[in-house]
Chain A
Amino acid sequence: MSRLVDWPVGKLTSVRSRESGNPVLYFLALGPRFRGDERKFGFALAVFLLLVSPALAQDKKSPPRNYGIGQIATPEQIAGWDIDVRPDGLGAPPGKGSVKDGEKVYVERCAACHGEFGESAGRWPQLAQGKGTLASHDPVKTVGSYFPYVSSVFDYIRRSMPFGDAQSLSNDELYAVTAYVLNLNDIVDDTFVLSKETWAQVKMPNRDGFYDDDREKSEKAFWNSKPCMKDCRGPVKITGHAAVIDVTPEDKTPRKGGVD
């Protein structure tokens, strides 16, 4: 029992495990499904701590508890669903694909919507061009002009493209078609082969195009405990009419006022 006195208390709301340096939590977090004896011990321990520690007794937040509900997920189960890939390549599957092979996949599986050169067929998303437009009046956001990381493209195609036939590409096809989309954007040359090994060589043009939300600083003026109530501005003019633009769908709502 001598270990007990060393145990830190009062941080019981932490969600973290033993490695966070809070062994109390670890024991309390063990359920019968995992380790029955330890759980009983944990319970006895909790009662003991409640008795000996006024600080703990005052802690109104309930300690983490294991309910013994849920099963251990097996590595096989996880592998089937764990399809995300990070900018550093973590999660990238084995395999590889060349721009050349990617062209075939693209023409067969993607071009009908995204256009032969990624220019978009009809109103489907455009995947290429748009370089230098981000600061213009009509920014064109594409893989080449806007996406910051290869993973942002690769992970997305992997999980949801082709639209309507998701998760149907083999890993090699996925690498190849991603390489081809990069090539359409002049990011890699015609001989490029994308794989885990070459992943880090790809430099996305807009990689540094983003910064963290700074509204609390840049929009500080919007926090104002005494907003103006009277004579807050000069004469008000109508400068635009939605009815003139006339893009609202016809619907059955009554729009005419009934006042004579």
Chain B
Amino acid sequence: MTDSNDDAPKPETTSRRRFLAGAATLGGLAAAGAAQAGNPKNLPPNVADWSKHLGDGVAVRPYGHPSKFEKDVIRRDVQWLTASRESSVSFTPLHELDGIITPNGLCFERHHAGIAEIDPDDYRLIIHGLVDRPLIFTLDDLKRLPRVNRIYFLECAANSGMEWRGAQLNGCQYTHGMVHCVQYTGVPVKVLLEQAGVKPAGKWLLVEGGDAAAMNRSVPLAKALDDCLVAYRQNGEMLRPEQGYPVRLVVPGWEGNMWIKWLRRIEVGDQPWYTREETSKYTDLLENGKGRKFTFEMDAKSVITSPSPQAPVKHKGFQVISGLAWSGRGKVTRVDVSLDGGRNWRAAKIDGPVFDKCCVRFYAETEWNGEPWLLQSRAMDDTGYVQPSKDDLRKIRGVNSIYHNNGIQTWALKASGEVENVEVG
């Protein structure tokens, strides 16, 4: 599902410009963007270069990639965040995307010991512990089992974690880019556990990765039986190495750290393990010095992806405000947008499919004539949860919890069209 498997350079900006030029004459609107030149040789009435010459033939690009003009649509990292790139994070360029599906190559990455490269022939999954029959599966075995297709968002619990103490990073790629949303194909964990036969004492699973971090988390058995998947495909093709090729766990709606990549082992036990990843990390430290543990669900959250600091406004007049919303507790039922920092709200339009624990795309259509805006969005889900303001969240959580910051984001739009991440009070 990459944006563009058709690699012929597309006159995307040109056609937009052409449209705007038309609009300018028709509606008399000042289209500031028309000033951005482009090469007159390619513009009408001249015949463009690509209209005269042959381009690459088939199979020149056996695995298609985006247009060379889209080379800045990439994941990015923040180097000062971590000591080493092997245990670090890169962020999804949300400001460049639309719809709900994240192209595979743009899904944010978080590894703790780099990307494991696993030969599919050498892949094994062991299921053991409180089971009647400990089992070992090859990748082929997993692919032979009944499978399902589900679209889910995956959000790192630390997404927006740098923003607890105030506006810090200038761009939704950095403030909100630890989320992606793809279609997974995989075997329900329930089916796998049925093959092994869980003993009555079984209450928790330990799930473990095969990379050099051997990431391990405890997952309640009830959740695993409810909707977890052992997935091997994303958006139709095999998982990308950085997403756990060949097999990862899918834990819908719950924090990304639990979605173990390069999954090698599932052990059934009668109590949680209290691994480092669910004690030292992924616990939410409150002001009183106590940590909340097992805060699995990702609460409802949304962000306006355009306009945003990396996607400034280029024209006055008609604007489509666009954003992404998701909830780990169920379906997003509504997203409201405010232009005045949360004083007044109106419901945005949700366009495209609405699934459980999945991203939705929202749009608010309006006019902008250079006045300052304080843009906000707030998501609601089918449990009645309303995304809180950052201040309301801080009143309960303080500013030390790192994880689970789902507070409402504010973007300040200036007269120039520039957008900035700001804190409001």
Contacts and interface: CB of A to CB of B under 8 A. Distances in A.
Interface residues of A, number: 98
A47 B197 CA distance: 22
B288 to A, nearest CB: 6
A66 interface: yes
Interface stretch (A152-160, A170-178, A185-193): A152-160
Contacts of A108: none
A229 B314 CA distance: 29
B32 A209 contact: no
B113 A166 contact: yes
Interface string A43-77: 00000000000000000000011110111110001
A253 to B, nearest CB: 4
A258 B291 contact: no
Contact of A218 (B299, B309, B396, B423): B396
Contacts of A73: 126-128, 134-136
Contact of B271 (A86, A218, A242): A86
User: Looking at chain A's contact residues, is the secondary structure mostly helix, strand, loop, or mixed?
Assistant: loop
A256 interface: yes
Contact of A215 (B82, B127, B295): B295
A259 B316 contact: yes
A149 B198 contact: no
Contacts of B148: none
Contacts of A82: 128, 265, 267
Interface centre among B32, B212, B294 (most CB of A within 10 A): B212
Interface in B288-341: 288-297, 299, 309-316, 336, 340-341
B194 A64 contact: yes
A77 B132 contact: no
A210 B418 CA distance: 43
Contacts of A147: 276, 279-280
Given A67-B145, A214-B292, A227-B386, A243 B380 contact: no
12 contacts: A67-B144, A81-B264, A134-B289, A135-B288, A139-B400, A156-B276, A163-B86, A164-B212, A212-B292, A238-B412, A239-B423, A258-B313
Interface of A: 15-21, 26, 29, 31, 34, 64-67, 69-73, 77-78, 81-87, 113, 122-125, 134-135, 137, 139, 141, 143, 146-149, 151-153, 155-156, 159-160, 163-164, 166-167, 209-215, 218-219, 221-225, 227-233, 236-243, 245, 247-249, 251-260
